[in-house]
Amino acid sequence: MARTVEPLVVGRVIGEVLESFSPSVKMMVTYNCNKVCNGHEFFPSAVAFKPRVEVQGGDLRSFFTLVMTDPDVP
């Protein structure tokens, strides 16, 4: 899953906002069938409704936290 972390390193999210980590499950977030990917922007109207979040590969008894952050906000 190194490809999923690479954009976070290039964008300096890892190092400035988060510490380095190794993803352990696959998580997919979509808004109205539009997949959310690192570095992609959405207009506010595209994210007006709650997203669909899918977690693959985890134990059904596990809990996960999804955090949305904007590291560019002062």
25-60 pLDDT per residue, tens? 888 999 999 999 877 888 989 999 999 999 887 787
Per-residue model confidence (pLDDT) at position 61: 85
CA angle 49, 53, 6 (to 5 degrees): 110
Domain boundaries, the chain: 24-59
pTM for the full predicted model: 0.70
Side chain identity, residue 73? V
Residue with the larger pLDDT of the pair 43 and 73: 43
